[in-house]
Chains A and B, each alone.
Chain A
Amino acid sequence: MTDERAPTPAPLLQIESLHKYFPVQKGLLRRVVGQVRAVDGVDLELASGETLGLVGESGSGKTTLGRCVVRAQQPTSGAIRLDIEGRDPIDLAVASQSELRTYRQHMSMIFQDPFLSLDPRWTVLDIVSEPLRKLQIVKAGEAEDRVRALIEVVGLEAQHLHRYPHAFSGGQRQRIGIARALATNPKLIVADEPVSALDVSIQAQILNTLKDLQQEFSLTYLFIAHDLSVVEHISDRVAVMYCGRVVESGPTRRLFHQPLHPYTEALLSAVPQPDPDRRSDRIILPGEVANPANPPAGCHFHPRCSYARDICRSEDPPYVNWEEDHGAACHFSTEIELQGV
Chain B
Amino acid sequence: MTTSGSAPQAGPNTAEALLTVQGLKTWFHTDDGILKAVDGVDFSVPACSTLGLIGESGCGKSVTARSILGIVPRPGRIEAGTITFQSQEQGSVELTAMDPTGREIRSIRGREITMIFQEPMSSLSPVHSIGNQLSETILLHMSVDRREAMERSHELLDRVGIPDPGQRLQEFPHHLSGGMRQRVMIAMALSCRPSLLIADEPTTALDVTVQAQILELIRELQAEHQMAVLFITHDLGVIAETCDHVAVMYLGRIVEAGPVREIFHNPRHPYTIRLMESIPRLGEERSRLNAIAGTVPIPLDPPAICSFLDRCPDQMEGVCDQAMPALVQLHPHHSVRCFLHSQEVEGP
Give chain A's interface residues, CB within 8 Å of chain B: 1-2, 57-58, 169-172, 199-205, 207-208, 211, 226, 228-230, 232-233, 253, 256-257, 266-279, 282, 284-285, 288-289, 340-341
Known: A200-B56, A271-B237. A208 touches B288 (CB 8 A): yes
Give the residue among B179, B208, B296 with the most A Cβ atoms within 10 A.
B208
Residue of A nearest to B217 (CB): A284
CB distance from A144 to the nearest CB of B (A): 26
- Taking a contact as CB atoms under 8 Å apart, the answer to whether B240 and A272 are in contact is yes
Is B172 on the interface with A (CB-CB < 8 A)? no
- Taking a contact as CB atoms under 8 Å apart, the answer to whether A226 and B240 are in contact is no
| Docked complex: B260-294 residues within 8 A CB-CB of A | 260-261, 264-265, 274-276, 278-283, 285-293
Is B143 on the interface with A (CB-CB < 8 A)? no
| Docked complex: B222-243 residues within 8 A CB-CB of A | 234-241
Q: Contact partner of A232 among B239, B260, B280, CB < 8 A?
A: B280
Residue numbers in B under 8 Å from A199 (CB-CB): 56-57, 234, 296
Residue numbers in B under 8 Å from A169 (CB-CB): 295-296
Known: A199-B57, A201-B292, A273-B237. A341 touches B207 (CB 8 A): no
Known: A57-B208, A272-B241. A201 touches B275 (CB 8 A): yes
Give chain B's interface residues, CB within 8 Å of chain A: 56-57, 177-180, 207-213, 215-216, 234-241, 260-261, 264-265, 274-276, 278-283, 285-293, 295-296
Jot down 28 A-B pairs with beta carbons below 8 A, ordered by A.
A1-B287, A57-B209, A200-B234, A201-B56, A201-B274, A201-B296, A202-B295, A204-B279, A204-B290, A204-B292, A207-B291, A226-B207, A229-B282, A232-B283, A233-B280, A253-B285, A270-B208, A270-B212, A272-B211, A272-B212, A273-B241, A274-B239, A274-B279, A275-B240, A276-B264, A278-B240, A289-B207, A340-B283
Residue numbers in A under 8 Å from B289 (CB-CB): 204, 207-208, 233
Bound together, the chains give a CA A288 to CA B289 distance in angstroms of 33
Known: A203-B278, A230-B280. 8 other contacts (CB 8 A): A169-B295, A200-B236, A204-B292, A228-B282, A232-B280, A267-B209, A274-B281, A284-B209
Known: A272-B238, A288-B210. A229 touches B279 (CB 8 A): yes
- Taking a contact as CB atoms under 8 Å apart, the answer to whether B207 and A276 are in contact is no
- Taking a contact as CB atoms under 8 Å apart, the answer to whether B179 and A288 are in contact is yes
CB distance from B52 to the nearest CB of A (A): 11
Give the residue among B215, B216, B283 with the most A Cβ atoms within 10 A.
B283
Grouping DSSP codes into helix (H, G, I), strand (E, B) and loop, the A interface class, with mixed when no group exceeds half, is helix
Residue numbers in A under 8 Å from B213 (CB-CB): 284-285
A-B contact count (CB 8 A): 138
Residue numbers in A under 8 Å from B293 (CB-CB): 205
Known: A228-B208, A275-B240. A200 touches B177 (CB 8 A): no
CB distance from A275 to the nearest CB of B (A): 6
Q: Contact partner of A274 among B178, B179, B216, B276, CB < 8 A?
A: B276
Bound together, the chains give a CA A284 to CA B208 distance in angstroms of 10
- Taking a contact as CB atoms under 8 Å apart, the answer to whether A211 and B240 are in contact is no
Residue of A nearest to B246 (CB): A276
- Taking a contact as CB atoms under 8 Å apart, the answer to whether A341 and B282 are in contact is yes
Residue numbers in B under 8 Å from A271 (CB-CB): 208, 237, 282
Residue numbers in A under 8 Å from B287 (CB-CB): 1, 211
Bound together, the chains give a CA A81 to CA B267 distance in angstroms of 50
- Taking a contact as CB atoms under 8 Å apart, the answer to whether A273 and B207 are in contact is no
Bound together, the chains give a CA A335 to CA B30 distance in angstroms of 64
- Taking a contact as CB atoms under 8 Å apart, the answer to whether A276 and B210 are in contact is no
Bound together, the chains give a CA A167 to CA B241 distance in angstroms of 37
